[in-house]
Structure 1
Amino acid sequence: MARYALIDGYLDAMRAGLNGRRDLDDLVCEMEDHLYSTVEGLCSRGSTPAKAERTALERFGDPDTVATVYASSKHGGVAMPTDFTRRAGTFAIVSAGLLALFGAYWIVWSEFLDSRFEWEGWGSSLYMVATFVLMAGFLCMTVAAVGIIQRTGTKGLLPIVAFVFLGLGTVSTLLAWFVGAWMLMGGIGALCTSIILLRSGLGSTAHALLFGLGLPTGLVTFVAFRVAEFGRVDEWGDYPTATTIGVGVGCFMTAVGLVGVGRWLRSEDPIDIERTPIAA
């Protein structure tokens, strides 16, 4: 790949301005990739190398200004809408629909059908379908969380914790009846993702709170009603009404939050580095 003196000088200035960052090398390499790919794209459309180099640097911005923005960033990465973050918005909306569907199933099964319904005949098959609906909802929510993390440009421990717990929550949905497990794991992951979003100042605060607090609120509600021995007692000594209320609160609160977050992610036009300066 051909080298360009102006770009190399620009990157040296950026490196000096960002000295002290732990991710300095990764960030400069990312900028280098953007700049060189822009130059190559302009050259492929007929621009001379010298003109393409100057145009790319003009679009990227003054190195001192960009370095100042990155140096003062709390998040540590490039925060901009992309094609992936837009698709993540779609996954968030799909996840909302799947969680709402599972919540509705649980209410109908637990409160209006026989308590042994899911273990017998066609009821067993429907229970398995509902389990996979819940798992698919968690998978889509995990993709949405990755999109949120990328959109906010957040790096560090919190995104890792969010991803790990959402992954554990997804695995836990294989035991859909074990409400405490998937609500706890998924709730921690969603809460961490919500904190990331709230710290960034992006999107709707209300939807971020609903998304992050939905599953934890559902879990607390379930435990509270269970301790209070609320509702009828089934043949296994459980309190299905307490579980139903917790699942309903958790699934529907989270679904409303995901719809709002998803619509926000989908509303943003992806930034094309060849046409638009990077926004940090």
Structure 2
Amino acid sequence: MTPITEVEGRRVALSNLEKVLHPATGFTKGELLHYYATTADVLLPHLRDRPVSFLRYPDGPDGQLFFTKNVPPGTPGWVTTAEVPRSEGPARMVLVQDLASLMWAANQVAEFHTHQWVVSAPEVADRMVLDLDPGAPATVVHCCEVALWLRERLAADGIEAYPKTSGSKGLHLLAAVAPTPSERVTEYAKGLAVEAERVLPRLVVHRMTRSLRPGKVFVDWSQNAARKTTAAPYTLRARPAPTVSAPVTWAEVEACRDAGQLVFRAADIAPRVQDYGDVLAPLLDEGRAGPVP
């Protein structure tokens, strides 16, 4: 029988609590649910009002991985959903608005991915993202070097950037921007990536072509496209260990000298939040959103 628990007045089914999902550490589904419950205060503000795509891994990272964008069958009626535009026609997606819907969604065993816009203004971005992806033998150390250059370049345009780990091997830079059509933000982000490659030719590549990427950092600007999503802050990732897309401070980026320095697991996040709070909280302040040049 599937256990039923009450979360903020909602009945939520939580299943297979002893199932091991991250085999490198024996991390179970029960531990995954506990992680999301205890991280909700900092995670939910970054999900709220943003349609969520789920990268599901119900049998762990070695099992089947698949994206769920439409509202899944069996979604409780109290979970908020919204119609969003798609090239093939409107679709309905989930909004994770509160602790109850977060726990229901976490029970699906998924990474949380969001658009750079909120549901009230589809395809009008209020965030920009640059995904720094190292091609071996490059590592996150090289990503940090690129991130520091991008921070200064963005600051020159009046835009303040904030870093987080990807939860895999790279870094994400996020910035709050004044509401701007996603197409324009994508164009601006691409221009930054091209400029970074011109200034740092031995370190950066702006094209996705695999043959160009070994030993360099691919600055992926394309995730600003209206239909694309990026791993949300604080989401667990479908990796052998329960790594997290964790906000980091610029001091940590500046001090990074080893690829292992910026790897954070579920158990690391509560102490970090206690020490730093939500490093990405400024992204939630509309007053800090800079205009896109």
TM above 0.5: no
Report the structure, 1 or 2, having the larger helix content: 1
Larger radius of gyration: 1
TM-score if structure 2 supplies the norm length? 0.24
TM-score if structure 1 supplies the norm length? 0.24
